[in-house]
Chains A and B, each alone.
Chain A
Amino acid sequence: MSGIRVLVGCKRVIDYAVKIRVKPDKSGVVTDGVKHSMNPFDEIAVEEAVRLKEKKIVSEIVAVSCGPTQCQEVLRTAMAMGADRAIHVEVDPATYDHLQPLHVAKILSKVAQEEKVDLVLTGKQAIDDDANQTGQMIAALLDWPQATFASKVEKTNGELKVLREIDGGLETIKVRLPAVLTTDLRLNQPRYATLPNIMKAKKKPLVKKTPADYGVDVTPRQKVLKVEDPPVRQAGAKLASVEELVAKLRDAGLIPT
């Protein structure tokens, strides 16, 4: 009786501690030479997959990333954490700038079908675009159940019992496999990718593919018009009395004189 096969989606994003800078032409943010790392929520997804493998629930973990050549660094990290294989769906930098969640969802769905996986695990959203769409779209494309914002995952018979973090509190649902899961912050603490594992990961297989290999058209359907810094916060003023407040409101024309 073989275990579950898992596909983990990993996105390479600008490191969360780095200060973002908008390009002078306002077409996007500066990425050249800037420190990148794996999307923190995807790290949690990889960690969860590895923990399930250690519990012998999962038999194989395939890590996938879509983007330019540097995405391979993120895949090596995933393998150093415990993923068995990696697939790099290569997209050239110019096309990558316009790659949208629907394109990624289509690609990952096709990969999931080709690799005959039982579970797709990704982070709930990427910290660069905060889209929170890819996992849900994959579920729709594959017509699989989805359990998003997972903060606890348990296997019961042929189902997964998932605790979800929702606006109103916590919700527990059961999903039948195959399914799509997206991870939230409190699901686990990812392990460190240590040097001996990084060295071992260099020998694990990493296959390069393109969107065309999966029959996915990555022509953009949306166009980014402008990227700007948030407006500079105006200095506040401390007022000494209610009378002063009323006077200021009158001066600003916010209350009738």
Chain B
Amino acid sequence: ITYILRCQRSFATDVPKITTHYTVYPREQDPRWKGVNMERISDDVDVLIVGAGPAGLSAAIRLKQLANDKGKELRVCVLEKASELGGHTLSGACLEPRALNELFPDWKNMGAPVTQEVTSDQFYFLTKSSALPIPLLPGMPLNNYGNYLIRLGNLVRWLGEQAEALGVELYPGCAASEVLYHEDGSVKGIATNDVGIAKDGSPKDSFQRGMEFNAKVTMFGEGCHGHLSKTLFKKFDLRKNCEHQSYGIGLKELWEVDPALHRPGRVEHTVGWPFNTDGKNLYGGSFLYHIQEDAPLVSVGIVIGLDYKNPYVNPFQELQQLKTHPHHVKLFKSGKRIGYGARALNEGGFQSIPKLTFPGGCLIGCSPGFLNVPKIKGIHNAMKSGMLAAEAVFETLTDDHKVASSKTAGLDPESYEDKIRASWIWKELKSVRNVRPSFNTSLGVYGGLAYTGLVYYLLRGKEPVTLSHGEPDHACLKPAAECKRLEYPKPDGEVTFDLLSSVALTGTNHDHDEPPHLTLKDDSVPVARNLAIFDGPEQRFCPAGVYEYVETEDGRGHRLQINAQNCIHCKTCDIKDPSQNINWVCPQGGEGPAYNGM
């Protein structure tokens, strides 16, 4: 019997090398790295916090408040990959001040940038030409009286100032790129990124090793789908007893508008058009907030569930389209766009809350995921989770018996999970747990609205059943051949814009001579699978134009071009890649977008 070996990938040798990062090509086996000194300086702290977002900073502040109250010395360090606090922070945002009230009861007099109270609250069902108002009864998730419209980047900056005043060490521009482990398998701390590696993966003259931070407890507050948290889920099997996380992508623009059309404190949320036209059955909605600061500002954006099926969906274009609706368009014609950004967010809610602690650390904020999806609010829960974790960590560190009897060198702040279960975060998320999954039936948005209006409104989550999330987002795409090709109108340069000028507004930048941080496990998969079956959806779901399929020089095929410099760190590609071939790793610290009060 003769076996004819078919070479399945006859073009394997033609695949140009895209990925050069050492996480795919280890340096220990790379001859170019022979003899390079790989030693790292290390520093010891009591508590290390990865991520200076609302959760990380609230945790740092709470730790120092507790330490100062009890007269204990505690070295708390916060690492942040953005070059300045708030640089990578993006949100709507409509803040429920519940957690802020607990963290700083006197925040109003402390100059917190939380000044715009909600003055009117509207909810619309949009059709192509009209906006049907839907009444917001008290108790409905989207009822916002008592809340504040804020620019989260500015709140984060202010929290950073408060943290430093309390003695927290803040290190912006430092990316945590590797989790360090003790020999017993517990988390020892993290290592920051190396610098001075060339695009082809070889060491440059300016090569310098990152440094190590060793901590008794490491708290991970990296936001949605954090790259280090991703590895912790696997290592400690933290998702053993919960569902997978499901995600959405949020895109946002900041506009300066005509004062005559500006209504400070006005909140508008919409569903319907354009998310349910053209056969799209997107879980999608928009927000529009009027904020009065030195100038009349409007924050507008959309959230689209990443469980969509049609690979031709383009979230950036959906946002551009939304602005052209007759209900909104006058506002934008009168105005000037001053900001753009995007970020993935959690939609899994209650069903997707993982185990929160492990030997040596815990997860806080959106890294585990406490976003209340129907309310589209996560900041208050993120802050509260940081505060509860801080209390648990402080208890663990100051309990000499716990420390002595710990089986591992890294301490496990176990009481954090109990605190979460006993808190208002748990109650809140449990009550809305079925709203998001209710949009997943064939009735789409109508089913979801009906469920929220009837079942949620009457039962507030006391219904005995818990709906499941279905397939993970990356498995939801249908082959392109089975789907309708969606066409989006060209930008008019006045209300709607093209992608590249939008990316320019984010101020994002990465060293052109560093290995692309969007790494592929297998360089041949994009053309062989993503392009062949799904017509290259990453060209459309990336809100920064990182991925492009360009013709090869010989004109016979295509290759994937990764424009890593454009990346705005939203994590959508890592989540939605149908082949799960893209692995987002951390670029050099200080790189990425430079959001200003987004």
Contacts and interface: CB of A to CB of B under 8 A. Distances in A.
Interface of A: 15-19, 21, 24, 32-35, 37, 189, 191-192, 194-196, 198-199
Contacts of B594: 15, 17-18, 34-35
B205 interface: yes
A35 B206 contact: no
Given A34-B596, A192-B196, A195-B174, A19 B83 contact: no
B171 A195 contact: yes
B560 to A, nearest CB: 24
Given A192-B195, A196-B41, A21 B338 contact: yes
Interface string B567-598: 00000000000000000000010000010110
A19 B504 contact: yes
Given A19-B504, A191-B208, A194-B208, 19 more contacts: A15-B507, A15-B509, A16-B509, A17-B507, A17-B509, A18-B507, A21-B338, A24-B256, A33-B86, A33-B153, A33-B596, A33-B597, A34-B594, A35-B87, A191-B196, A192-B195, A194-B195, A195-B192, A196-B211
26 contacts: A15-B83, A15-B509, A16-B509, A17-B509, A19-B504, A19-B505, A21-B338, A24-B295, A33-B154, A33-B596, A34-B596, A35-B87, A35-B594, A35-B596, A191-B208, A192-B195, A192-B206, A192-B588, A194-B195, A194-B208, A195-B192, A195-B210, A195-B211, A196-B41, A196-B211, A199-B43
Interface string B192-232: 10011000000001101011000000000000000000000
A26 to B, nearest CB: 13
Contacts of B597: 33
A228 to B, nearest CB: 14
A18 B595 CA distance: 9
Residue in B196, B211, B338, B507 whose Cβ sees the most chain A Cβ within 10 Å: B507
A35 B154 contact: no
A93 to B, nearest CB: 15
Contacts, number: 57
B50 to A, nearest CB: 14
B84 interface: yes
A5 to B, nearest CB: 26
A198 B171 contact: yes
A37 B83 contact: yes
B84 A35 contact: yes
A18 B594 CA distance: 7
B508 interface: yes
Interface in B341-395: none
Nearest to B256: A24
Contacts of A195: 171, 174, 192, 210-211
Interface in B6-58: 41, 43
A55 to B, nearest CB: 15
Interface string B75-89: 000000001101100
Interface of B: 41, 43, 83-84, 86-87, 153-154, 157, 171, 174, 192, 195-196, 205-206, 208, 210-211, 256, 295, 338, 504-505, 507-509, 588, 594, 596-597
A249 B1 CA distance: 79
Contacts of A192: 195-196, 206, 208, 588
- 8 closest Cβ contacts across the A-B interface? A17-B509, A35-B594, A18-B507, A192-B195, A33-B596, A196-B41, A194-B208, A191-B206
Nearest to B493: A232
A37 B508 CA distance: 14
A191 B509 CA distance: 18
B177 to A, nearest CB: 12
Contacts of A17: 507-509, 594
B134 to A, nearest CB: 36
Nearest to B205: A189
Contacts of B505: 19
Contacts of B41: 196
Contacts of B588: 192
B211 A194 contact: yes
A20 to B, nearest CB: 10
Nearest to A16: B509
A33 B597 CA distance: 7
B396 to A, nearest CB: 27
A18 B43 CA distance: 33
Contacts of B504: 19
Contacts of A21: 338
A29 B406 CA distance: 56
Contacts of A18: 507, 594
A78 to B, nearest CB: 15
A61 to B, nearest CB: 18
A199 B596 CA distance: 26
Nearest to A194: B208
Q: Which of B171, B208, B256, B338 has the most CB of A within 10 A?
A: B208
Contacts of B508: 17
B368 to A, nearest CB: 27
Contacts of B295: 24
Contacts of A15: 83, 507, 509, 594
B196 A35 contact: no
Contacts of B87: 35
